Amino acid sequence: MEKIPFIDLKRNYEVYKEEIEKKVLEVLRSGIYLNGPQTQELENLLAKYLGTSYAVGVSSGTEALFLILKALDLPKNTYVLVPSFTFVATAEVIVRVGLIPYFVDVEEDTYNISLESLKESYEKLKKKRKQVSAVIAVSLFGLPAHLKEIKKFCEEKGIYLIEDICQAFGAKIGDKKVGTFGIASATSFYPTKPLSTFGDAGMVFTSHKNLAKKVRILKEHGQIKPYFYKYHGINGRIDEIHSAILLVKFKYFEKEIALRKAIVEKYIENLKDLTPYVRLPQFPKNYFSSYSLFTIRAKNRDKLKAFLESKGIMTGVYYKTPLHLQPVYKDFNFKNGDLPVTERLAKEVLSLPLHPYLTEKEIDYVISSIKEFYKK
């Protein structure tokens, strides 16, 4: 068996090679590289697909999150509730705009924000007379967070819900897409995300006209007319080449989600007998994942990872050190034991190879190798 990469980007490229190369060449020859027709078409298409009134193409998922927070202009030194079990970008943008991240715990089997922990954290801060301004809900590994309930909670408390859908573009609850529950949402088109390009890019979605307008200004240095600046902005543009690649990739997006889903179903069907060694993620009824990562909880995780690697199977650990225990966030006074589910997950999670063009043979090999490990 040849090596099985965790995510095979090269194989993905090969599938669309001709179409992408043709389109990229067109852009190169057009003389328009930024703020052009490719980006406009992509924004229109994706806003319509998601169900928001506006979409603004930006340079990455991180900058998309940053621009939303910057545009909302929340009171300085107020708190933003955020899961600890997420990629660092979700929290780093909070600090960048002068707000304070407050880490909350997640659920054992969806890995997404626990409503209970969210409510407890809010009450704890309130008791200390701290002001909470927003929640950033992450739909992790492709699975929607409990966005209906979180939205309701935020409305009751009069705080903003911002969605980090960087791993979950295309996912939905019932017919409603993630990214349409909050005041605004941020996605990423980083190469390993469900809808991806071959480089960095991202997008902000919102149905609020003024917010969309402000994000558009902020990503252009805060410029409101040529060389005239109203805000402290950034260079946060998406470029025409990535927009063009995304227009090609988007045609096959739903098909790719279906391919991912079939692979995940096969993993689940074959690994469910491995309890208690392996604990599988749960997908609540009516929640449709975009299956960006398939993450199990495994006994002896590090040994299993090494064993699979010795057989040529690459896996990933998201996330080995939770954010509340990262050195960079030590000033926010969280300690080991504060978020027990997050801390358990950090020791047990293992993401198995998953991309749309994984073959039956490869999936079978991964499954039989995991079984072999636990038989010993």
With binding defined as CB under 6 A, does residue 233 bind ligand PLP? Answer: no
Residues linked to residue 54 through DSSP beta bridges, in sequence order: 206
Q: What is the dihedral of CA 297, 300, 306, 308, to 10 degrees?
A: -50
One of 23, 70, 172, 193 is an active-site residue; which one?
193
Minimum distance from residue 49 beta carbon to ligand PLP (Å): 19
Does 188 bind ligand PLP (CB under 6 A)? Our answer is yes
- In single-letter form, the type of residue at position 324 comes to H
Q: Which part of the chain contacts ligand PLP (CB under 6 A), choosing from 87-95, 236-244, 264-272, 367-375?
A: 87-95
CB 14 within 8 A of CB 7: no
Nearer to ligand PLP, 199 or 284 (CB): 199
* Residue (27 or 195) nearer to ligand PLP, CB: 195
Which pair of tokens denotes residue 310?
């010795």
- Give the residue at shortest CB distance from ligand PLP: 61
Q: Strand pairing of 132-138 and 100-104?
A: unpaired
The CA distance from 217 to 219, in Å, is 6
**Which residue among 61, 83, 142, 233 contacts ligand PLP (CB under 6 A)?**
61
Q: Which is nearer to ligand PLP, 66 or 365 (CB)?
A: 66
Which residues are CB-neighbours of 221 under 8 A, at least 6 positions away? 229, 233, 234, 235
Q: Tell me: does residue 62 bind ligand PLP (CB under 6 A).
A: yes
Look up residue 340 and give its two tokens: 């027990």
In the complex with ligand PLP, which residue's Cβ is closer, 89 or 339?
A: 89
Applying the rule CB under 6 A, the residues between 35 and 54 that interact with ligand PLP are none
Least Å distance, CB 203 to ligand PLP, is: 10
Q: How far is the CB of 187 from ligand PLP (least distance, A)?
A: 8
Say whether residue 138 binds ligand PLP (CB under 6 A). yes
Residue 90 found at the interface with ligand PLP (CB under 6 A):
yes
Q: Please report, for residues 54, 57, 187, 189, 316, the alpha-carbon distance to residue 204 in angstroms, rounded to integers and kept in the order given.
A: 8, 7, 7, 11, 27
Q: Which two tokens stand for residue 161?
A: 């819900």
d(CA 139, CA 147): 9
Q: What angle do CA 65, 69, 71 make, to 5 degrees?
A: 115
Mark whether 23 is an active-site residue: no
Q: Is residue 315 at the binding interface for ligand PLP, with CB under 6 A as the rule?
A: no
Of 7, 47, 159, 166, the residue at the interface with ligand PLP (CB under 6 A) is: 166
3-state secondary structure of 300: coil
H/E stretch holding 79: strand 79-83
Identify which range of 57-65, 105-113, 268-276, 360-368 contacts ligand PLP by CB under 6 A.
Answer: 57-65
The verdict on 202 binding ligand PLP (CB under 6 A) reads: yes
Q: Determine how β-strand 202-206 pairs with β-strand 349-352.
A: unpaired
Task: Pick one of 38, 86, 121, 315: the residue that binds ligand PLP (CB under 6 A).
Answer: 86
Size of the site for ligand PLP (CB under 6 A): 15
Per rule CB under 6 A, is residue 236 in the interface with ligand PLP? no
DSSP assignments along 268-289, one per residue: HHHHGGGTTTEE-----TTEE-
Rounded Cα distance between 187 and 171, Å, is 12
Question: 219, 148, 211: which is closest to 185 by C-alpha?
Answer: 211
- Quick one: 105 or 362, whose CB is closer to ligand PLP? 105
Judged by CB, which is closer to ligand PLP: 270, or 326? Answer: 326
Taking contact as CB under 6 A, which single stretch among the options 160-168, 169-177, 228-236, 277-285 is the one that binds ligand PLP?
160-168
Q: Does 295 bind ligand PLP (CB under 6 A)?
A: no
Q: At what angle do helices 61-72 and 89-96 cross, to 10 degrees?
A: 40
According to CB under 6 A, which one of 102, 181, 190, 267 is a site residue for ligand PLP? Answer: 190
Q: Which is nearer to ligand PLP, 143 or 274 (CB)?
A: 143
> What whole-number distance in Å separates Cα of residue 175 and Cα of residue 169?
14
Query: Which residues would be at the binding site for ligand PLP (CB under 6 A)?
Result: 60-62, 86-87, 89-90, 138, 164, 166-167, 188, 190, 200, 202
Task: Catalogue the active-site residues.
Answer: 193
